[in-house]
Structure 1
Amino acid sequence: MGLLPFETFSEFGALIQLKYFHKLPAIDRNDVSLKFCYDKLNQVSRSFAMVIQELPDELKHPVAIFYLVLRGLDTVEDDTEYLKENPEAKHELLRTFYQKIRNPNFHLENCGGSLNATAHYADLMLHFDHVCKIFLSLDQKYQAVIEDVTMKMGCGMVDYLGMTGVDTVKDYDEYCHYVAGLVGIGLSDMFTAFGEDKQALFKVGLSGSSEDPLKKSLSNLMGLFLQKVNIIRDYAEDIEEGRTFYPSSAFQQFGLTQVTDLKDPKNLPQALKTLNYLVTDALSHAPDCLEYMSSIKDPKVFSFCAIPQVMAIATLVEIYNNPNVFVKNVKIRKGLTARIFMETKTLGDVQKWFSKFAADLRVKLEKNLDDPSAQQTKQALDNIQKKAGEKTMKNGLKISSGFGLVSVVSALVYYTLYGRSPSTVSATRGSSILGRLFGWTGLTPSGI
């Protein structure tokens, strides 16, 4: 019969727990606008929706609306067909979007419809008045944060509108600041309004290319880390839409001239060198992210910050030296995602995860020591493990809150019935419910 792998067993148990036993706090569904906002939040970002709904009550609605407002702004920017014939009007809308959200009747027709991802974006924009109504009901201190970040991001989007990429790593960092670093800064402003230590969250970090204290802050670097992982991972998806923000200096140093050259199979050696260079650059932010998270006091705020960061470093392990990045969107297993959700509660958990994934990537690096970035990658991993305290993550399932026993029994029953691990069964039964649930057939969880 063979032994059930601990890692498979743990992921399977976490999936059962997350899907069937993990209950999110209830939302007042009698409020039509609030119901719309949370329904739409779940439709446009399932991963973020879950961590947002577990925030403290005072922060839950402000962060949810912050996300939806920025998703709306991003939809205006991303929809290349919207106001195509009148670019100045589009620029003006992006610049003044922060003012529009003060209008309880504000909505946009025919916006978001050309995006390939999902029809939910168009529906969000069509009924954006619901988002505005909930925004206007928030405490003024949270409204001010949302307005400020939306204004700065909208103006930054105008500067980048129509661009299909960036040139240098410094340009790359600047772009990531506008699309993600500002989000990190805004969230930190909300957390400090809630009671977290402002000085600690805005401490100057060690990574990044900017000399600006705000752009060098831990809050900005948290956003840069997540955004860079998304940019690297999403190459195949983005290139189909005619853009990607891989800095041209990254691939030109390896003899390629156009970003599209990376997807040509004959250029795979140079493409992998580019990929590993960018993964190493992203890894450089990880110690600063650990420093930021060590300053968070509220356990719910901590989990909100930590889960996406752990998923990001897990993704870097998956995409390092992986040629599939240039042909499809590579993501981590659903089971691993579930386990991260269920087992990321404390700083010790995060340190263990970061140390584990640094060790996993080091194994891949040892087989790739001729890579031009190998020494820098090794140094980045050393820095992560030093900051994480050389912690290790056990493969076994955590049994906590009285539920672990249920997932253990469920997994054992399944194993007894089929005589093999869930991963083996799903590999041969790709259309089975378990196969779809467990994610071993190529189906993967939504991006963070």
Structure 2
Amino acid sequence: MNTRKSNDLQIELNYAESLNYCLNILPNVSRSFAIGIQFLSGELRKSVLVGYLLCRIIDTVEDDLSLSILQKEHYLKKFIDCFKSFEECTAYTKIAENLSGDKNHIQLVANSHKVFHLYFSLSQTTQLTLTRWVCEMAKGMISFIKRYPNGIRLATLDEYKEYCYYVAGTVGHLLTDLWKEYGSRVSINVFNKLQSNASVFGEALQTVNILKDIAWDAKQENSIYIPSDILKKYGVSHEAILNENLKIESQNAVREILNLAYNDIDIAINYLKNIPAFNFRIRFFCIFPLFLAIATLKKIENSENILTPEKVIKVSRSEVKKIKIYSILCALSNFFIDRSVKKIF
């Protein structure tokens, strides 16, 4: 075998290894997104896979409690540099040695060069899409890390929405750009409709996650996302949000964000209804996490334990299976969507 053929074979083997790694690590860092991504096919599946894992890498850095603010800022900036050359990606893997927390997330950072290996194999258009929105997310994270060096304490609803845009609205735009590139029958008219609600689609899911983890975030990650101006309306502060003596007042404040979540969910449902039924796989990818979010939201609304650190609000496996079935039906036609939302949840 000549040298050129040998090199080509090595590149092909490395690519296969990188793809296999990314597919295998995915369910370990997000079971729900793994279900949606596995439902996609071809280059779109690979593009969404890479996009999700890139976002998970910077989320791991942002959430790490053992890192200083300067370290987080430095590592996020170095991550942005990885989009410029593969050499930067190889060096970036070393930061995993300084991370603490979930071992699967740390392992992902340690193998981030494999994610970027796939990234550089994508079309130029896809690379530009991922670079634009993932870097937008990273820059937003840097902004909030510097703004709140002692732990996030959001002040206003506008600031809450700004935060949700950076960590989730960007994902909505990233996905929408990919639907345009790979989705059959996603015309300019359809794309424009999707684009107008793309940010809210991502933000709706983020708000549900925030509501689900209020106590956990406050206790374990030193982050409180319920805006202080809303808490003050009910005589509560960030410091007292988990105070048992102010439980009713805190729950009333949280209800305002709950109402925001329902409003955003309605917009997100309109977003997915605008995706042509021909794009069955894309519709399922969007519907499944949205239905999971709605099911979670109902549990939050009916729970008295959302401000109790020891209590975990979770959708059961049997419920997830049911939601998956209904998501498949709704992916076929908009007719089933409203009925499913009303009857199931």
TM-score range, shorter chain: 0.7 to 0.9
Deviation of the 1:243 alpha carbon: 0.6
State yes or no: 1:336 paired with 2:319: yes
Residues 101 and 337 of structure 1: CA distance in aligned 2, closer, same or farther (over 3 Å): farther
Question: Could you tell me whether the CA contact under 8 Å between 2:208 and 2:297 is conserved in 1?
Answer: yes
Q: CA separation in 1, counterparts of 2:251 and 2:158?
A: 21
Question: Could you tell me whether the CA contact under 8 Å between 1:166 and 1:246 is conserved in 2?
Answer: yes
Residues 293 and 101 of structure 1: CA distance in aligned 2, closer, same or farther (over 3 Å): farther
> Residue 182 of structure 2 aligns to which amino acid in structure 1?
F
Q: CA separation in 1, counterparts of 2:296 and 2:154?
A: 23
State yes or no: 1:222 paired with 2:210: no
Residues 106 and 87 of structure 1: CA distance in aligned 2, closer, same or farther (over 3 Å): closer
Deviation of the 1:272 alpha carbon: 1.5
Q: CA separation in 2, counterparts of 1:151 and 1:167?
A: 25
Secondary structure in 1 matching 2:193: coil
State yes or no: 1:356 paired with 2:343: yes
Deviation of the 1:232 alpha carbon: 0.9
For residues 298-337 of structure 1, what are the structure 2 equivalents within 5 Å? 298-327=279-308, 328-337=311-320
For residues 117-132 of structure 1, what are the structure 2 equivalents within 5 Å? 118-132=102-116
Residues 86 and 336 of structure 1: CA distance in aligned 2, closer, same or farther (over 3 Å): closer
Q: Which residue matches 1:203?
A: 193
Question: Could you tell me whether the CA contact under 8 Å between 2:226 and 2:254 is conserved in 1?
Answer: no
Q: CA separation in 1, counterparts of 2:187 and 2:225?
A: 33
> Residue 172 of structure 1 aligns to which amino acid in structure 2?
Y
> Residue 314 of structure 1 aligns to which amino acid in structure 2?
A
Residues 194 and 85 of structure 1: CA distance in aligned 2, closer, same or farther (over 3 Å): closer
Residues 113 and 274 of structure 1: CA distance in aligned 2, closer, same or farther (over 3 Å): farther
For residues 226-305 of structure 1, what are the structure 2 equivalents within 5 Å? 226-240=205-219, 241-258=221-238, 260-297=239-276, 298-305=279-286
Residues 64 and 270 of structure 1: CA distance in aligned 2, closer, same or farther (over 3 Å): same
Q: Which residue, out of 161, 179, 189, partners 1:191?
A: 179
State yes or no: 1:51 paired with 2:31: no
Max Rg structure: 1
Deviation of the 1:165 alpha carbon: 2.3
Q: CA separation in 2, counterparts of 1:222 and 1:201?
A: 14
> Residue 350 of structure 1 aligns to which amino acid in structure 2?
I
> Residue 115 of structure 2 aligns to which amino acid in structure 1?
V
For residues 8-27 of structure 1, what are the structure 2 equivalents within 5 Å? none
Q: CA separation in 2, counterparts of 1:301 and 1:112?
A: 37
Sequence identity, in percent? Answer: 26
TM (norm. structure 2) is 0.85
Deviation of the 1:201 alpha carbon: 4.2
Residues 155 and 30 of structure 1: CA distance in aligned 2, closer, same or farther (over 3 Å): closer
Structure 2: 5+ residue runs without aligned partners?
A: 1-12
Deviation of the 1:73 alpha carbon: 1.6
Q: Which residue matches 1:73?
A: 58
Q: CA separation in 1, counterparts of 2:97 and 2:242?
A: 28
Q: Deviations over 1:384-414 (max 9, x none)?
A: xxxxxxxxxxxxxxxxxxxxxxxxxxxxxxx
Question: Could you tell me whether the CA contact under 8 Å between 2:82 and 2:89 is conserved in 1?
Answer: no
Question: Could you tell me whether the CA contact under 8 Å between 2:173 and 2:199 is conserved in 1?
Answer: yes
Q: Which residue, out of 132, 135, 143, partners 2:119?
A: 135
Question: Could you tell me whether the CA contact under 8 Å between 1:106 and 1:128 is conserved in 2?
Answer: no
Q: Which residue matches 1:145?
A: 129
Q: Which residue matches 1:444?
A: none
Residues 320 and 78 of structure 1: CA distance in aligned 2, closer, same or farther (over 3 Å): same
Deviation of the 1:337 alpha carbon: 1.2
Secondary structure in 2 matching 1:230: helix
Q: CA separation in 2, counterparts of 1:314 and 1:104?
A: 38
Residues 201 and 30 of structure 1: CA distance in aligned 2, closer, same or farther (over 3 Å): closer
Deviation of the 1:323 alpha carbon: 2.2
> Residue 325 of structure 1 aligns to which amino acid in structure 2?
I
Aligned residue-pair number: 318
Q: Which residue matches 2:4?
A: none
> Residue 105 of structure 1 aligns to which amino acid in structure 2?
T
> Residue 25 of structure 2 aligns to which amino acid in structure 1?
K
TM (norm. structure 1) is 0.66
Q: CA separation in 2, counterparts of 1:127 and 1:227?
A: 26
Q: Which residue matches 1:38?
A: 23
Q: Which residue matches 1:393?
A: none
Secondary structure in 1 matching 2:275: coil
Question: Could you tell me whether the CA contact under 8 Å between 1:98 and 1:148 is conserved in 2?
Answer: no
Q: Deviations over 1:360-390 (max 9, x none)?
A: 6xxxxxxxxxxxxxxxxxxxxxxxxxxxxxx
Question: Could you tell me whether the CA contact under 8 Å between 1:103 and 1:132 is conserved in 2?
Answer: no
Structure 1 consecutive aligned stretches of length 4 or more whose deviation exceeds 6 Å = none
